[in-house]
Amino acid sequence: MTLSISLTINGQPRIIPVDDPRVTLLDLLRERLHLTGTKKGCDRGQCGACTVLVDGRRVNACLLLAVSVDGADVMTIEGLAEGTALHPLQQAFIECDAFQCGYCTPGQIMSAMGLISEGHAGGDPERVRELMSGNLCRCSAYQGITEAILKAHQTLTEEKGRDAA
107-121 burial, b for 16+ CB within 10 Å, e for fewer? bbbbbbbbbbeeebb
Report the chain's mean pLDDT, rounded to a whole number: 94
pLDDT digit string (tens) for 109-126? 999 999 999 888 877 899
Domains of the chain, residue spans: 3-79, 88-164
Superfamily of domain 3-79: Beta-grasp domain (3.10.20.30)
pLDDT digit string (tens) for 38-69? 999 999 999 999 999 999 999 999 999 999 99
pLDDT digit string (tens) for 15-45? 999 999 999 999 999 999 999 999 999 999 9
pLDDT digit string (tens) for 65-116? 999 999 999 999 999 999 999 999 999 999 999 988 889 999 999 999 999 9
Nearest-angstrom CA–CA distance, 71 and 82: 24
Nearest-angstrom CA–CA distance, 115 and 127: 11
Which pLDDT score is estimated for 59?
97
In what order do the strands lie in the sheet containing 3-9? 12-18, 3-9, 73-75, 51-54, 57-60
111 DSSP 8-state letter? H
pTM over 0.75: yes
Superfamily of domain 88-164: [2Fe-2S]-binding domain (1.10.150.120)
